[in-house]
Structure 1
Amino acid sequence: MRSTWPLYLLFFVVAGLIGATISYAFLTESLTALGIPDPGFVTTYGLPFFRAVGWMLAALAVGSFMFAAFYISPRVPEGDNDRLIKAPLSVDGHLASRTGAVSALCFGLVALLMIPLVLSDVSGTPFVQTLRPDAFGVALEQVATAQAWGVVAAIALVTGIVGLFLRNWASQPLLMLGAILMIVPLAMEGHSASGGDHDYGTNSYLWHLVFMVVWVGGLMALVAHGRRLGPDLDVALRRYSAVALFSIIVMAVSGLVNAGIRIEFSDWFTTRYGLIIVAKTVGVIVLGVFGWLHRAWTIPKVQANPHDRRLFRRVAIGEVLVMAAVTGVAITMGRTPPPPPRDPNLSPMAVQIGYELTEEPTFLNVWTMWRFDLLFGTIALLLAAGYLYAVWRARRAGRDWATSRTVWWLLGCASLVLTMSSGIGLNMPASYSMHMLGHMILSMVVPLFLVFGAPLTLLMTAFKSGPPGRPGIRDWAYAFTQSRLLRIISNPVVNLVQFLFFFYVMYLIIPLYELMISEHAGHMIMNAIFLVSGYFYFWEVVGPDPIPHRRPTPVRLAVLFVSMPVHLFLGVYLMQLNTVMGQEFYESLFLPWNPDLLVDQKEGGGIAWAFGSFPLAIVFARLALDWRREDKAETKVYDDKVARGEDDEFESYNQMLARMNAGGEQRDDYYNKEFGK
């Protein structure tokens, strides 16, 4: 087994040198466009170099945790995949997880270094002068890019430190999620987050970055697994190939969408910025085809001779080097000024939310407006496609699946697309009443429909358990139902508190609400919280998925009774509040119909008061029916036991009555003899 860190360093250096060299070549044009003095060689060369290295580190962290979680089988007790949740990592899994943790820590340190580098870059100040504590504070207070790197550093350092101490399989999916979250703040800044259509630009950039690190990081982790002579390389190859193919498709589509938003097609071949986009796109597509063909050819050879991996390593290492080069090219886009925007005279509304609103929203016209939401709309379509694929697999295997559950799931997906892409989603950033209507649907309608679809049960129905000791999709889903995390979340008190907390906190803390609505990232975070919080709430209360330690129906009814008046109280509170939340932001939009903001806010309170009771009433009816069915089932089981004479308490009661009856007859004989009766 040979160490892979020298190869990692080679990948990092290639990406950093290419990104820094190309960026440095464009230095004069960039500084002229930005109108700032030259901050010096350390910044102009170091910033793109460490940015490229940082992306490679983030990719390695994601790929390593992904391998430890899903590609490298842990030491399942006695080979029983149903006990996966208790499995420690294997030696290979431990090495992959440690690599992910160290990579996350290094990425966090690079993120801290980027804060003074960014300040030096945007201000034209030499790098050494930005290392002063007061300059560091200025960067975090006033420079958006530096703030993003600060958040990245916090998430990365926490993920890395926690990852160093966790050695069980159950923690690896969570660490992978933490590694992905590290890069999310960086998708919220840069060229994509400014100008017209920046909602499309930011969302497409987020898709692009997430799947870039999955693709690049997964291949680096695969190379490391092959060099370690780790077991089940054929399984890892097969699983990674499917993920890589999907990642390449997402990267190509999202990259083209992002480029099409920012520059005209004619500029693709006549400007430096356009040529970088073309080179990057061609590189991604060629690499994707080459990689897929390589793995399709390699998998049979590895299966035929698991011990001869030299050919795989040679080709895979070359592929990663080209990936590193493409990453370096992509980094230069952040240092190259794009061509002038299509519309240089954007309105304040287009600058703030990315598009124009010309009509006041009404009950009818919100359904005639349309702007597809690239984030939540795409997620909904992917969820629908994945669910239908699983249903197809289940029925192909001869297993039954209720059509009603499929209908519920598709209703949830359709509701998400319609809410976020119609006039409701379009007006959520600009109108408090539309924001509250969207909030109600995202937290109380879409999750309820999705919960009734029982997705975990479907996964455990559609997929078979993997070979002993080599868990698959069905085993991962079952392990989640047995996890300590689920036990905590499904605790009635915890579940109720999280649901009400996220429902209230952004409205009772007015400065927080104003901060969230003023940024596209804030809208995305709020909508994601509404969906996830609502899903966990309804999943525990009425979900048909198997949840161990689920509380009896009367307890869940009590949870519902507690939450209903709280929702009503929020609506009343908002209807009586005379302080306009987010007034400065809403006024900065200059909406053409000049709404009365206080009236609009009170209408939002009325929506919260009236709307929230309908889904909760449906849940109450469902729980009441469940209680009645459970009571009938218990009564039938009890009657059957009595009929078979298997109920000890019932038999003891009958014997007691018999003794009492016998004693009564003896007393009657005594009285008859004594008193002549």
Structure 2
Amino acid sequence: MRVMSSTRLPAATPAPSTSSAARGSTGIFIGLGVLAGCVAAFISWFFLQDSLAALGIPDPGRLTTVGLPFIRAAAWMAVAACVGSFFVSAFLISPGAGGDELIGAPLTVDGHIAARAGAISALAVALLALVEIPLVFSDITGSPVSEVLSPELMAVAFNQIATAKAWAVTALMALAVGIGGLIARKWAAQPLLFLGALTLIVPLGMEGHSAAGGDHDYGTNSFLIHLIFMVIWVGGLLGLLAHARRLGPDLTRAVRRYSLVALVSVVAMSISGVLNASLRLEFSDWLTTRYGLIIVAKVVLTLVLALLGFAHRQLTIPQLERQPGLFRRVALVELAVMAATVGVAGTMGRTPPPPPRDPNLNAMQLLLGYELDVAPTAWNIWTMFRFDILWGTLGLVLAGLYGYALHRVRQRGLSWPLVRTAWWMAGSLGLVVVMSTGIGLYMPALYSMHMLGHMVLSMVIPLFLVLGAPLTLAMEAFAPADEPGIHEWAVAITKSRTVAFITHPVVNVTQFVFFFYAMYMSYSFYEYAISEHAGHVVMNCVFLASGYFYFWELVGPDPLPNRRPTAIRLFLLFISMPVHLYAGVYLMQLGPILGEGFYSALGLPWAPDLHVDQKVGGGIAWGFGQFPLVIVFGYLFVEWLREDRSTARRMDAKADLDGDQDLEDYNAMLAALNGEDDSRHFRGR
């Protein structure tokens, strides 16, 4: 709904035409979800039944055969609607006035409607995910749904079926995002809800055909990237169409911003999709297998969507202000094709893939995705190279974005310290090197290399990135604008209450210590984390984020809310330094072997002594962690000296102006005290 003026229209004024009246989009959201589900159900019922029967897979019944792909495709459209709605409320709709700049600004009516659509979409995801769990169990066991809907069998599904666990986790996460979206009333919550909506992709992106077989680390990571950009692309257009139908303000600016995001998404989806398919399919399988034909159908539909996107950029955007209805019609057609594409993709999880290229995979290839033939040495960990699709790509993107910001700074006629550029490039490109060479390759296979990678990811890479001052660079590269943009978003981060809470000294030191210890205090938790590719991804994310926040508060040049004085930060550093010493000693003396079951199952050809390797890992934690802290100590000590000299200079300048009045007042106070003491002494005698 729209807020209308209370001024009464003249009687002769005609009613607005239906083409210019504000409209809701609930029906379109539901219709596109149903369209995606129907496409998936149609393909599953008419084209996959004989393939499953030929493989000896039992028929679970019509309800599962049709319902599972229908619910899966509809759930993905709901995820896209959730992501897109919060994307619009956070970055495409300007907040209202009345707050403390951007960070405290309330949502406008349009922003509130978009956020509510995102929240309702998240709750729909939670509901659909719960419905999908028994359908998955029915499909895997070949039993009708009615036979698996018992507490005992559902408990088995949660404990033993990875796909059921993924949908259950997704349901819980979606419930949290939905409740948060219904409660939030200010703009500051919208970027956080957008990130929360994106995390709904992770559990589902870590299971399926891509997570099995050789090179499954490549398959899973490329699939995850593919899904992230898919929901941003589809969801962004969904949210934008809803904004256009309710006649939201600044539609031209919003469309131009989305157009750039869509272009990046198409490129990222195409590259990651082709890479993912090439890992599992021979070229001859593309047109001779059902799995290959489904991928070909996705490719064709994606090309159609790319052409429609090009038409948007060339035809509808220049005429947007004169003919907004043209944009809405083209966008609706594009979304229909997107929904069909999502429906086609929704059948892939139930489509038997072609046989693996190498059917004789050993345990190491199945568990890691690749082989390690020799023991790590100080030389070969730097000469081995296997590009890490996830972290290597992230490092290159971070370096590229920083370089673009530097270009913008020079265009504005400003300068930027070379040392900050060097720190950032060392961190971003160092992430590429570390995760693509021997440290990243051996990290999942040996405890000692895991600990070395942990130290680098939590104490070296974040420190280098923090010293690059990326937020300050963003504020320098992009000038302030009347409408919120990159400059305003960067300023908002520096004033965020969430950031202030995380970087509070007590919270910051606690989280840094907790994430270091929690990983190694529970044998079962560590075993589970290292035995799943998702566990490795989550651990590395936690290492990087925890280290970044820790060093951001200690030495980050970026402005932060309520940054403590240097003396306090030095004190916090002294408190946290012994943590790694104690943890290292604890790990070196630990009797049970962490992750013994997983490490033994790898069958490494040089047969390492796992107990000795664990002692080496403890030694790395004991010794390696002190080197970055020495850099931090030196940085803080120099900053402390600068502050002390600056204070002395201010005092000297003040003394020159007022004739050192503070010193005169102090001497007078001492003289008065001495006179009072002498008087008391005289009276005592």
Name the TM-score, length of structure 1 as normaliser.
0.95
- Rate the CA distance shift 1:72–1:34 in 2: closer, same or farther, 3 A: farther
User: Is 1:48 matched up with 2:64?
Assistant: no
Deviations 1:435-486 (A, max 9, x none): 111111001100010000000000111011121xx21110011011111101
| Structure 2 residue corresponding to 1:12, chosen from 25, 29, 33 | 33
User: Is 1:107 matched up with 2:125?
Assistant: yes
Which AA in structure 2 matches 1:640? A
The equivalent of 1:274 in structure 2 is 292
The equivalent of 2:111 in structure 1 is 93
Matches within 5 A, 1:95-494: 95-303=113-321, 305=322, 308-467=323-482, 470-494=483-507
The equivalent of 1:675 in structure 2 is none
SS of equivalent residue, structure 2 residue 353: coil
The equivalent of 2:19 in structure 1 is none
Deviations 1:504-544 (A, max 9, x none): 11111121111100111101111111011001000100110
Shift of 1:236: 0.6
| Structure 1 residue corresponding to 2:555, chosen from 513, 522, 542 | 542
User: How many Å separate the matches in 2 of 1:475 and 1:644?
Assistant: 40
Shift of 1:276: 1.2
Determine if contact 1:237/1:295 at 8 Å carries over to the other structure: no
Which AA in structure 2 matches 1:491? H
Which AA in structure 2 matches 1:412? G
Which AA in structure 2 matches 1:493? V
User: How many Å separate the matches in 2 of 1:246 and 1:68?
Assistant: 20
Name the TM-score, length of structure 2 as normaliser.
0.94
Percent of matched pairs sharing the same residue? 59
Matches within 5 A, 1:19-58: 19-32=40-53, 35-58=56-79
**Gapped runs of 5+ residues in structure 2?**
1-21, 678-685
Determine if contact 1:26/1:336 at 8 Å carries over to the other structure: no
Shift of 1:254: 0.3
SS of equivalent residue, structure 1 residue 49: helix
Shift of 1:266: 1.6
Determine if contact 2:52/2:352 at 8 Å carries over to the other structure: no
Shift of 1:612: 0.5
User: How many Å separate the matches in 2 of 1:650 and 1:269?
Assistant: 90
Which AA in structure 2 matches 1:413? S
Task: Indicate the RMSD between aligned Cα atoms, in angstroms.
Answer: 1.8
SS of equivalent residue, structure 2 residue 35: helix
Shift of 1:658: 8.3
SS of equivalent residue, structure 1 residue 77: coil
Shift of 1:121: 0.5
| Structure 1 residue corresponding to 2:523, chosen from 491, 510, 517 | 510
Shift of 1:286: 2.8
Determine if contact 2:320/2:326 at 8 Å carries over to the other structure: no
Across the two proteins, how many residue pairs are aligned to each other?
657
The equivalent of 1:668 in structure 2 is none
**Gapped runs of 5+ residues in structure 1?**
665-677
User: How many Å separate the matches in 1 of 2:659 and 2:175?
Assistant: 61
User: How many Å separate the matches in 2 of 1:150 and 1:18?
Assistant: 24
- Rate the CA distance shift 1:662–1:9 in 2: closer, same or farther, 3 A: closer
Deviations 1:282-340 (A, max 9, x none): 2213312321331342222124x3xx421111111011001111111111211211111
User: How many Å separate the matches in 1 of 2:61 and 2:498?
Assistant: 50
Determine if contact 2:424/2:466 at 8 Å carries over to the other structure: yes
The equivalent of 1:62 in structure 2 is 83
- Rate the CA distance shift 1:651–1:434 in 2: closer, same or farther, 3 A: same
Determine if contact 1:62/1:180 at 8 Å carries over to the other structure: yes
| Structure 2 residue corresponding to 1:578, chosen from 591, 598, 611 | 591
Shift of 1:135: 2.1
Shift of 1:649: 3.5
Determine if contact 1:30/1:335 at 8 Å carries over to the other structure: no
Determine if contact 1:77/1:84 at 8 Å carries over to the other structure: no
Shift of 1:661: 11
Determine if contact 1:85/1:170 at 8 Å carries over to the other structure: yes
Which AA in structure 2 matches 1:525? V
Shift of 1:621: 0.7
User: How many Å separate the matches in 1 of 2:144 and 2:673?
Assistant: 101
User: How many Å separate the matches in 2 of 1:289 and 1:563?
Assistant: 55
The equivalent of 2:18 in structure 1 is none
